[in-house]
Amino acid sequence: MSGCMPLQRLHLCMICALCFVVCQFVFLLVLLQRETFTGRLLLFDGGDHGKGKDERRLFGWREFISHTPEQSAAFYQYNLQLSDRVGAVRWLPRTRHESCDSQRTYSLPHASRAKVSVVISFHNEARSMLLRTIISLISRTPEDYLHELILIDDASQDVSLLDDLKKLMAKVYATRGRLTLICLRNVRRQGLIWSRNRGAEAATGHFLLFLDSHCEVNEAWLEPLLDRLALNATLAVSPLLDPIDPTTLRYSKGNELLKGGFDWSLHFHWLKRELSAKEAPEQPYPSPAFAGGVLMISRDWFLKLRGFNSRLKIWGGESIELAIKLWLCGGQIEIVPCSRIGHIFRPRHAFDFPPQFDHESSAALATYLHNSKIIAESWLDEYKNMFYVLKPAARQIPLLPTDQEEDHPTRQLKLELQCHRFDWYLRHVSPELKAHFNELAAMGTLKNGHRCLHARRTDTDMDTDSEVKLPVILDSCYLNDITHWRLLRQSGQLSTATERCLGVEENSQPPRLTLNACSRHKTRKKAQRWLRRGTQLVHNETHLCLDNPLKNQLVLSPCRSLAASQSFQFALEIEKQT
The predicted structure's pLDDT at residue 368: 86
* DSSP secondary structure letter of residue 301: H
Name the least confident of 93-97, 263-267, 322-326.
Answer: 263-267
The per-residue pLDDT for range 400-438, each reduced to its tens digit, is: 765 444 447 888 999 999 999 999 999 999 988 888 777
Q: At 30, is the pLDDT very low, low, confident or very high (cuts 50, 70, 90)? A: very low
Does pLDDT of 466 surpass 50?
A: no
Q: Does the pLDDT value for residue 223 go beyond 80?
A: yes
What pLDDT, in 10s, does the model give residues 235-254? 999 999 999 999 999 999 99
In angstroms, the CA 40 to CA 28 distance is: 15
pLDDT digits (tens, 9 = 90+) for 484-514: 898 998 889 999 888 889 999 877 788 889 8
pLDDT at 5: 53
- Helix (H) or strand (E) holding 25, with range, is helix 4-34
The whole-angstrom separation of Cα 260 and Cα 271 is 6
Q: Could you give the domains of the chain?
A: 52-344 (3.90.550.10), 439-573 (2.80.10.50)
Taking residues 277-306, report their average pLDDT. 92
Q: Would you give the end-to-end CA distance of the chain in angstroms?
A: 121
Strands 569-573 and 440-448: antiparallel
Nearest to 488 by CA among 546, 432, 433, 441: 441
**DSSP E strands: which ranges in 317-406?**
332-344
Rounded to whole angstroms, how far apart are CA atoms 542 and 529? 10
Give the whole-angstrom CA distance, residue 344 versus residue 36: 26
> Mean pLDDT throughout 73-80?
83
State mean pLDDT over 176-191.
84
Rounded distance, CA 93 to CA 52, Å? 12
The pLDDT of residue 57 is 52
Which helix (H) or strand (E) segment holds residue 433: the answer is: helix 431-438
- As a three-state string, the secondary structure of 441-506 is EEEEEEEECCEEEEECCCCCCECCCCCECCCEEEEECCCCCCCCEEEECCCCEEEECCCEEEEECC
